[in-house]
Structure 1
C-alpha cells in the first residue's frame, strides 16, 4: 500500500496504528512520547484567558483565534446541509452528501488541532510559567435539555455556546500545554477573574461593559476585557508561586505593578 510521509518516524516508536477517520481518510500513526519542551529560563509568566469569540487571550495583549472554515466553505456546508434534509434515508445520494459534509468537518478539526499544537508549543517555548483557569469544561458544556418533569430553558442558546466552547479547543489546549510543559502549567480559581480591575483590584460586574471592553467603574482603567482577565490570571498564579517558594514574583517587575498600557483590541 502506498502512503505519504507527513513527518519522520521518531526513534522511540515501537508500534503503530492504522485508522480511518469519518472523512474516509486512512492514517498510520506511530506511538512515541516526545520529550518535554525545555524551560526558556526567562522567569516570565503568562496568563491565558480562554473564550469563545477569542479562543485564547494572553496577558501580553495577544488575542488568538482558532482558524475555522472559510466563508466559502461555510456557505458550501450550509448548502450541503439543506440538500441533506431533502434526501431519502438510505439512498446513495444521501451517503455522498454526508461524506462531503464529513470532509468539511474534518478540515475544520484538522485546522483546530494544528492551531492547538502550534500555540501550545509557542507558549511552552516563550514562558517559564503558564497560568490558566481551572474550568470544569465537561460541566460547562452539559446539555440544557433537562428532564420531562423539569425541562430546560434557552436550549438553542446553550447548544450554540457549547459548540463554541468545543470549537475553541479549551480542554485540548491545556492538555497539550501540560504534555509539553509539565510542572509549568498552573491552574487557578476562575472566580472574579473577568470582573476584577487589573489596575486597582476593584471587583464589579458593571466594569465589564461588553464582551470586548473592560472599563473599571472605580479608577476608569480601560482595556480589552479578555486581556484584563488574562492579567488577573497571571498575577494570581504569581502570587501562589511566591507564597509557595518565598521568592520574588514570577515574571519580574511586570507582575508586581499593574499594567496600564495594555492594548484595547477586539
Structure 2
C-alpha cells in the first residue's frame, strides 16, 4: 500500500538556491506545456505527453537554462500536466503563478535516490544534482521508496517520500457490524451518531490578533515591495501552523473512528461548490455576500474535505467501508418518527419534533448524524455503496414476490 512520509529539510544556502532554481524551471515547463496544449485544443487537435517530451529534449539543446534541472524531474512535470489535463480538462488546469504557487518538484526514479540515517534525529538523502541533503528523522520510512517530492512551505523546505509499506487492506473489520454516521458542521467539525463531538481550535487568540494586524499592514503596503513580501511571509507562517493543526486533528479523528467502526457514513457534500463566492458579477450582483463569505470561512476552517480524505486513507488499513449518502433533509428529519418539517430544528443545536405523536428531542447535530447513519445502512443493505442511486430500501412487494404499487 502506498503511503507518504514527510520530513523537514536542512539545506545549505547553495542547495536552497538550487531547489528554487529547479522549481522555477519546472514551473516554466508546466506553463509552456499548458499553453501549447490549449493552442492545440483551440485548433481542434490534441497534444500528448510523448511529443511534448520529445520537444523538451530539443528545447534543451537551444536553451541551456533547461539543463539546470534533472531531466527526469522535467519529464515528471509533463506527466503531471498530462494527467491533470486528462482528468480535469485542458482549459480548467491552472497556471503556476510565481506569486501564488508553492515551489515543488518530484524525483520519480528510486534507483537514483539513497537514504542514510545519521543518528537518532538526523538522516540524509542523496538526490540528483543536489547531492547529500540532511533532513530531520522524525519518523521511520517504513517501506520501499517509490518517489521523492521536494517542496517549500512557509519559508521551509520539506521532503516527502512515497513508500510502499507492504500493508494490505483487511478483508474484514476487527469489529464487524459496527457503524457510525458523521455530521459535519461549523460549530463542531464532526458529530457522530453515538453522540461524540469531535472539534478543536486551530488558531489561538494571540495568533488571531497578529493575523489581523498583518492583514491591515499588508493592505497599506505597495505591491512588489520587500516589506510587503516579509508581511506576506509572516501571514504564511501563521496559516501553515493552522493547516498543520487541522491536518493533525483530521488524521487523529479519522484513525479513531475507522478503528471502531466497520461502516462510516458521510453526507455527499460538494465542498468546493458550497464555498463558492456569492459576489456574482457586475451585471448580476450577489446577495448576502458578507453572510455567505462568513459561512465559507467557517466551512473551510473546519476542514470538511480534509476529514473526508483522512477517513478514506485510514479506512485502507482497517477495512472500513466509507459510504456517502444524499444530504437532503438530514437535519430536518426526525430520527424517531421520520417526519420532515422545517420547524423541527429550532436552532443550531436544538431539535424538537413537531409531530404531535412524537415530540422527540435531541441535539440537532446528533439527530442529523443518526439520519445519515440510517441512510447509509439502507444503502449498504441494498448493496449500493454509490451516491448515484436512491438511498431508499427496495419495495417490500419485490421481496415477497408481489409487484409494488
Q: TM-score interval w.r.t. the shorter chain? A: 0.7 to 0.9
Q: CA contact under 8 A between 1:37 and 1:180: conserved in structure 2?
A: no
The secondary structure found in structure 1 opposite 2:134 is coil
Question: Structure 1 residue runs of 4+, over 6 Å off?
Answer: none
Match of 1:174 in 2: 308
Structure 1 residues not aligned, in runs of 5+: 246-266
Structure number with greater Rg is 2
1:6 aligns with 2:138: yes
1:200 CA displacement? 1.6
Q: CA contact under 8 A between 2:175 and 2:260: conserved in structure 1?
A: no
Q: Name the structure with the higher strand share.
A: 2
1:208 aligns with 2:342: no
- Deviations 1:122-174 (Å, cap 9, x if unpaired)? 11111000000111222212221222221111112212211221221111211
The secondary structure found in structure 2 opposite 1:185 is strand
- Deviations 1:69-112 (Å, cap 9, x if unpaired)? 01111111112222222333333222222111110011001111
Structure 2 residues not aligned, in runs of 5+: 1-132, 385-405
Change (3 A) 1:36 1:126: farther
The secondary structure found in structure 1 opposite 2:201 is coil
Give the counterpart of 2:161 among 11, 24, 30.
Answer: 30
Q: CA RMSD in A?
A: 1.8
Change (3 A) 1:62 1:31: same
Q: Distance in 1 between matches of 2:252 and 2:145?
A: 22
1:4 CA displacement? 1.0
Q: Distance in 2 between matches of 1:242 and 1:29?
A: 40
Q: CA contact under 8 A between 2:344 and 2:352: conserved in structure 1?
A: yes
Give the counterpart of 1:161 among 295, 299, 303.
Answer: 295
Structure showing greater relative contact order (alpha-carbon pairs closer than 8 Å, 6 or more residues apart): 1
Aligned residues: 244
Q: Name the structure with the higher helix share.
A: 2
1:240 aligns with 2:379: yes
Match of 2:192 in 1: 58
Give the counterpart of 1:193 among 312, 317, 330.
Answer: 330
1:114 CA displacement? 0.9
1:33 CA displacement? 5.1
1:6 CA displacement? 2.1
Indicate the larger mover: 29-38 or 221-230. 29-38
Indicate the larger mover: 227-236 or 133-142. 133-142
Indicate the larger mover: 140-149 or 112-121. 140-149
Q: CA contact under 8 A between 1:67 and 1:115: conserved in structure 2?
A: no
Change (3 A) 1:239 1:6: same
Match of 1:222 in 2: 361
Q: Distance in 1 between matches of 2:235 and 2:168?
A: 37
